[in-house]
Amino acid sequence: MNPIRHIYVHIPFCARICPYCAFYKDLLDRSQTWRFSEALLRDLDQECATFALSTETIYFGGGTPTALTTSQLEFLLGGFHRRLDLSSLAECTIEANPGSVSARKAALLRKLGVTRVSLGVQSWNDELLKVLGREHNSHQAEESFHILRTAGFANISVDLMFGLPGQTIEQWKFTLEKTIALQPDHISAYCLTYEEDTEFFMRHARGELRQDTDADAAFFEMAMSVLEEAGYEQYEISNYAHPGFASVHNRAYWLGKDFLGIGPSAFSTIGMQRWQNVCDYRSYADRVLCGQSPRGFSENLTNEMKRSERIALSLRMREGIAGSELKHFGRETEELISLGLLRKSNGNFLLTRKGRNLADSVAEAFL
């Protein structure tokens, strides 16, 4: 088996729970974070004993990884350095929330080999940040961005959201322009979705919040135009980067490469096997610290499942999907081309600009 090159680490703690968030997370409990950090390293030990690793990318996501203290981050990242051969490491990303970034923490992360920070700004409008239940305001977000640059981070992503309750197209334009003015190297822009088991989902079901697909399409159109005009290449439907700054880790995931997940709720896909660790950080730590496996759900993948995923993910990328992958879908492909949603270029099929707005429906045609 080839060595695994991509590692995702899930740190579920958040200082406050956002009402739209469907990720596995829990309120920050300082009495648990040391034990949890030890469990992550023990989990890594178990996986190192099972799989050959030749780490090219590591992604610390959450939750809010920067909710850990500087000593805990030092312990954790130092532990990764001691356990892994990082001589081929191309990218080490950490997600950060404005408000949990201090100059001391930023300097430490640089020292510990983090090369990329994904900063969860979401909006530069304070009213909308309150609607989203975020703990930061736009001033803190800007300060955090400058702190990261001053600490020497040459690869910063700003994460944005659109389609927010009450958001106007002018507010979205302002958010895009303000982001561009800061010159981050990468920008993610996701449409708000109403996910089950969230407060927003309940409010949506009660009719208090509603999704306006026409407005969402207009926000998306604006993001594509404004960001491309500013020199950001849309290398994936929701991700834009200056040349050379596409996320290596996320591209590996979208290209269907194997990856190993460490931490509660983290997914791993290796060969034809996929599993998810338990979605509860206390039982995750209990299991790992007494030498048991943290795996909860697991499944065997079929070639059919892998192909459907590959089609859906590749279609979202700028280079599209190889024609050979769609050879059994001649009728569907022709139909999508005649609808102006798909086009062919150098043997690959790519979404058109119109198709990018309907990417999920296009992918469904190949299920």
Question: What residue ranges bind ligand SF4 (CB under 6 A)?
Answer: 14, 17-18, 21, 23, 25, 62-64, 97, 120
Nearer to ligand SF4, 121 or 224 (CB): 121
The distance of closest approach from Cβ of residue 269 to ligand SF4 in the complex, given in angstroms and rounded to an integer, is 22
The distance of closest approach from Cβ of residue 87 to ligand SF4 in the complex, given in angstroms and rounded to an integer, is 32
Nearer to ligand SF4, 28 or 289 (CB): 28
Tokens, residue 53: 């690793």
Which residues are paired to 58 by β-bridges? 7, 92
3-state SS, 71-83, equals HHHHHHHHHHHHH
Instruction: Measure the CA–CA gap between 347 and 1, rounded to whole angstroms.
Output: 30
Q: State in Å, rounded, how far the first CA of the chain is from the last one.
A: 29
Nearer to ligand SF4, 62 or 163 (CB): 62
DSSP 186: E
The distance of closest approach from Cβ of residue 132 to ligand SF4 in the complex, given in angstroms and rounded to an integer, is 8
Nearer to ligand SF4, 25 or 274 (CB): 25
Nearer to ligand SF4, 121 or 148 (CB): 121
Nearer to ligand SF4, 25 or 356 (CB): 25
Nearer to ligand SF4, 187 or 192 (CB): 192
> 60 with 26: CB under 8 angstroms?
no
Q: Angle of helix 169-182 relative to helix 213-229, nearest 10 degrees?
A: 30
> 117 with 94: CB under 8 angstroms?
yes
What phi and psi values does residue 305 have, to the nearest 5 degrees? -65, -40
The distance of closest approach from Cβ of residue 134 to ligand SF4 in the complex, given in angstroms and rounded to an integer, is 7
Residue by residue, DSSP assigns 258-299 as -BEEESTT-EEEETTEEEEE-S-HHHHHHHHHTT---EEEEE
Instruction: Measure the CA–CA gap between 119 and 318, rounded to whole angstroms.
Output: 23
* Surface-to-core class of residue 327, CB atoms within 10 Å of its CB (0-12 exposed, 13-18 middle, 19+ buried): exposed
DSSP 337: H
The distance of closest approach from Cβ of residue 363 to ligand SF4 in the complex, given in angstroms and rounded to an integer, is 25
Rg (CA), the chain: 21
The distance of closest approach from Cβ of residue 112 to ligand SF4 in the complex, given in angstroms and rounded to an integer, is 22
The distance of closest approach from Cβ of residue 14 to ligand SF4 in the complex, given in angstroms and rounded to an integer, is 3
Position closest to ligand SF4 via CB: 21
Nearer to ligand SF4, 55 or 93 (CB): 93
Nearer to ligand SF4, 13 or 232 (CB): 13
The distance of closest approach from Cβ of residue 317 to ligand SF4 in the complex, given in angstroms and rounded to an integer, is 24
Q: Region of 265 please: left (phi>0), alpha (psi -120 to 50) or beta.
A: left
The distance of closest approach from Cβ of residue 353 to ligand SF4 in the complex, given in angstroms and rounded to an integer, is 29
